Amino acid sequence: MSTRLWVSDDFESLVGQAAQWLIQAMVDHQADSNRPFSLALAGGSTPKRLYQVLSQTAQQQGVDWYKVLLVLGDERNVPADHQDSNYRMIRENLLGGIQIPDDNILTIPDPGGDATVAAEKYERILRDRLTKRPDGWPMLDCVLLGLGDDVHTASLFPDSSALTQSRRCYVANWVAKLDCWRMTATFPLVNSAERVAFLVSGASKSSALQALWHSPHDLHRFPAQGIAPQRAELNFFVDRAALGSVVPPQGLVVETD
């Protein structure tokens, strides 16, 4: 696994770099392949601006959304129109501005009810709709991830049961610190992707980057350390506020804008 660090002066530049990286990957894929480009979207607040930029520019730069499958990297266990829903955030910041068939948007059935049942249904949808690798794992062409202050990513939180999941690609996960259920892609699914990119912005994330890159390996304390795609390049799009005085690990390829 190679790792590339993209350092931007500010958040807007981070978004621009990540958007161009992703659009190029999608355009290149669509030029070379007949199968759809499967993109797992991160939740939370950081990616909102990226989704807005994608909705405004990707089609003009050659992305055919009819040849894209959109996946929820994780979701809160709330109805799809709830203010905390990642799907709602994606609908409001991306979907409203692009021409993509509803069937290409892989939504989680009945969120807000039984999270275990919803995650099981979504697992079946992913295994049905995504291309399979020879080892049988569904393959995502790109996974976008955020990074929590506690070094969680997707809804893989410290000390949660999903961290040890090795058979499933999507599970319900009880998050004790939030006293709520989440539904999330698992490490095996993310780590079988073709491309993985973290989006990390703001000074509040510096300590999480420090722990992620320099603390002893401990999945239960620092879940994002479990993101290690076997076949893919792992990308970090960070701004200088998030990087702060954190020294990137040896061997990272560093791109600056």
Binding site residues, ligand 6PG, CB under 6 A: 42-46, 74, 86, 146-148, 152-155
**Contact, 151 vs 163, CB < 8 A?**
no
Closest CB 46 distance from ligand 6PG, rounded Å: 3
User: Could you tell me the smallest distance in angstroms from the CB atom of residue 204 to ligand 6PG?
Assistant: 8
CB of 161 to ligand 6PG, least distance (A): 16
Q: What is the closest distance, in whole angstroms, from the C-beta atom of residue 241 to ligand 6PG in the complex?
A: 12
Nearer to ligand 6PG, 30 or 85 (CB): 85
Displacement of CA 4 from its chain's centroid (Å): 16
Shortest CB 136 distance to ligand 6PG, Å: 26
CA nearest neighbour of 181 among 247, 245, 117, 94: 117
Which residue of this chain has its Cβ atom nearest to ligand 6PG in the complex?
146
For residues 90 and 232, which CB has a smaller minimum distance to ligand 6PG in the complex? 90
Question: Please, is 59 exposed, middle or buried when counting C-beta atoms within 10 Å of its C-beta (0-12, 13-18, 19+)?
Answer: middle
Return d(Cα 144, Cα 162) in angstroms, integer. 18
Three-state SS for 130?
coil
Instruction: Report how far apart, in Å, the C-alpha atoms of 115 and of each of 43, 161, 163 are.
Output: 17, 14, 17
At 59, give phi and psi (nearest 5°).
Answer: -65, -40
Identity of the residue, 177 or 231, whose beta carbon is nearer to ligand 6PG in the bound complex? 177
C-beta of 11 vs 137, nearer to ligand 6PG = 11
Closer residue to ligand 6PG (CB): 30 or 41: 41
